[in-house]
Amino acid sequence: MSLATVFSLANNGQFRGLVQAAIAKAAYDITNESGATPNHTERLAWAKATMKDPESAMKQMIWMVLQNTTIIASGTNFVENDIQFAVNSNIDYLAL
């Protein structure tokens, strides 16, 4: 994975939009999860902040998503499920 590839994807409009959509979906899902979910209070606070400003959330999350080797390997052949998985996998990191 080259830094040039990471930078290129981070500035790709379609990729940024997909990451933002995945973040919005994850935020909505968190508002409906059980209060017994580990870290729910922090996750819910993250979700509410994210719904108010999804672009800022995307700017934070995109760099974490771009550490996923499957996403990097796919280049501009974006796989939405891979993006959603990477977003979902990093929520607790940003929420805590």
Q: Is the pLDDT of residue 75 over 90?
A: no
> Percent of the chain scored above 70 by pLDDT?
99
Beta-carbon contacts of 43 under 8 Å, excluding residues fewer than 6 positions away, are 30, 33, 37, 91, 92, 95
Q: Is the pLDDT of residue 39 over 80?
A: yes
Closest CA to 94 of 63, 70, 66: 63
Calculate the average pLDDT of the chain.
95
pLDDT at 25: 97
Q: Is the pTM of this model over 0.85?
A: yes
pLDDT at 36: 96
